[in-house]
Chain A
Amino acid sequence: MHKPRIRWHIAIFLAPAVLIYTSVMIFPLFNTLRLALFSKVDQERVYVGLENFRTLFFDPIWSEQFWNALGNNFWFFLVHMLVQNPIGIALAALLSHPRLRFAALYRSAIFIPTILSFVIVGFAWKLILSPIWGIAPSMLDAVGLKSLFAPWLGKEEYALTTLAMISVWQFVGIPMMLIYAALLSIPEEMLEAGEIDGVTGFAAFWKIKLPLILPSIGIISILTFVGNFNAFDLIYASQGALAGPDFSTDILGTFMYRTFFGFQLQLGDPHMGSAIAGAMFAIILVGVCLYLFGIQTRMRRYQL
């Protein structure tokens, strides 16, 4: 009888990654979920089951804030899907045009904001849009459109959309790069074959290229979804933890931060904060699962 050898090297090679990932990701994640099941009563931590979630969803004070943040989050995501990704695809299509000059320059220029820190982006745009020192009002004035200027970041009805656009400006380089790479991988012969059949220009894009890059667009959508529902930095850097004006830019990330760590006179409540973090985790998990099992598996793939 030949006993199969235990292949120790697999475990050893996996160990560093597994250990590090477990200690910095998996353990904190489950510990946070566990923390959401407790509450602090008279300096003692007591187990309360799903009570924190009941408060979060059904107590009018908490649920109003939660739904407001969730709604804002969806709007934030929608703006990215409707503005950032189509522009990213269009830019990639232009860049992949063989006769475009200075393509490398445009590519780098559009990608650079992505590597900037949120704090710098938030601060720079706050200055640009400032009604007092900003260049936005004077630039609009120069073309005679001063009347269109408003203190966008300070108005409830515009602030969230303005921030979403700033974020689009910052991250449009990511879909552009991914789509650009996908477009470059389309073999030249296929386009030439199309040309022979009379499919050129726009028609070639719609009928040949777009179906071939659909899987990449799917990946970009899911990255946008996860990124947006975890967003926090830009809002915090430009509007503060209270996500003003009047909570109109409050998203789940800022809501969670405020609850968990406290703010000004509000003392931090790690247990309710963990409950919100748990809800965020569930929302993202459901979204990703819907995509993976509902869309990804049905998407048609072509052998290139």
Chain B
Amino acid sequence: MKRNFMMAALTGTALVATSALAEDATLTVESWRNDDLTLWQDKIIPAFEATHPGIKIKFSPSAPTEYNAVLNSKLDAGSAGDLITCRPFDASLALYEAGHLAALDDMTAMGNFSDVAKSAWQTDDGSASFCVPMASVIHGFIYNKDAFAELGLDVPTTEDEFFAALETIKEDGNYIPMAMGTNDQWEAATMGYNNIGPNYWKGEEGRKALIAGEQKLTEEQWVAPYATLAKWADYLGDGFEAQTYPDSQNLFTLGRAAIYPAGSWEISGFNAQADFEMGAFKPPVRAAGDTCYISDHTDIGIGMNASTAHPEAAKAFLSWVASPEFAEIFGNALPGFFPLSNAPVELEDPLAKEFVSWRGECESTIRSTYQILSRGTPNLENETWGASAAAIKGTETPEALAEELQSGLASWYEPQQ
């Protein structure tokens, strides 16, 4: 009797398994980009399903601030989706090391990406990649074209021209020269230090040397950006110490400020808010003719849950994400989030086009603090927020700030000891 029951149960599961094979494979995508829900439903999923019969995609985002925690508990419980949107660097690396993300090096489509693009989702030695890079954001400055025309200003290319332009705007008095506050701290680091910094530490060269321990944060190329930031204070408008990030966005889009230190993710929001024409310029170089470096920061990737029931289907989707077709859809639907594949993509938004054109003129790098260096305590990225804000406010000298950052980093990071 018991044996019969076992047999029945076994045939039952076998039947279920075969019927599952015959059905479509449905892949669930975990993501924190709930803003992109319509983009996925209206554009990405139909485009993919049209060319890949037998695979269905379901996009299931959660709130950005909860994503990491929700994803971790789902993965531990074995209920996570088949495809996982990857945060850059350590958050995803931890998932890979815990065996939740599958290695993707055997996918030929990974060849479509440069090393910088892949660096956010690789092991420290670069031996294994576990997410397909989807998009990056580029740093620079967005400016009010009407204001520049009114004051007869040209787009600054060197630092001297940049400060001369700020001085002109300030003297005129109609506009706040630059819209940025230090209240939320991260803008000072992200749109300040890591925006202008790559020109000082020569992008990847300096960033890699820092990781290798060949350069220190107390060296000139790492300290000088703080000295430059200190000069910004005169042009930031009254009470910038308590000005928040939304304050700065509103000041600029209301036309009260002339320049906005930006990340390209602002583009779609600004397009909707501002009723004047906007342009963008890259971080000014220190002397005319210098090579320019831009922060082309890897932000979103997508990987495969190592315990997915449909690895082949998931890989088919990931290969498609790596293709130029996906890059074109994604890049145009989300101006300001730039596809990372090597294939050229035709963008329509003029501001986004301006940003992405710098890739051809300048050397790309990523934010200096993101890879490896923010793994310990104190956390270098968080410390850099505080240091950049302090530099702008002038509460400490650049040298003293660099000294603190260096001793904090050296306290746990061996190559810097």
Residues of A within 8 A of B (CB): 43, 60-62, 126, 129-133, 137, 150-156, 240, 242, 244-247, 261-267
Contacts and interface: CB of A to CB of B under 8 A. Distances in A.
A264 B379 CA distance: 10
Contacts of A60: 411
A267 B91 contact: yes
Given A240-B184, A242-B185, A242-B382, 11 more contacts: A43-B97, A129-B242, A131-B242, A151-B239, A154-B240, A155-B241, A245-B183, A245-B241, A245-B386, A261-B69, A265-B374
Complex A-B, nearest 9 residue pairs according to Cβ-Cβ distance, in ascending order: A131-B239, A154-B241, A151-B242, A154-B242, A151-B239, A265-B374, A266-B379, A151-B241, A265-B381
Given A151-B241, A245-B393, A265 B386 contact: no
Contacts of B83: none
Contacts of B381: 264-266
Interface string B202-239: 00000000000000000000000000000000000111
Contacts of B244: 126, 130
Contacts, number: 97
A41 B411 CA distance: 19
Given A154-B181, A244-B389, A264 B382 contact: yes
28 contacts: A43-B98, A61-B377, A61-B378, A62-B377, A126-B244, A129-B242, A130-B244, A131-B238, A131-B242, A132-B237, A132-B243, A151-B239, A154-B242, A154-B243, A156-B395, A242-B382, A244-B183, A244-B184, A245-B241, A246-B395, A263-B382, A264-B379, A264-B381, A265-B89, A265-B369, A265-B374, A265-B382, A267-B91
B259 interface: no
Contacts of B240: 131, 151, 154
A264 B408 CA distance: 18
Contacts of A62: 377
B247 interface: yes
A152 B243 CA distance: 11
B192 to A, nearest CB: 14
Contacts of B94: 267
Contacts of A154: 181-183, 239-243
Contact of B251 (A132, A137, A150, A266): A132
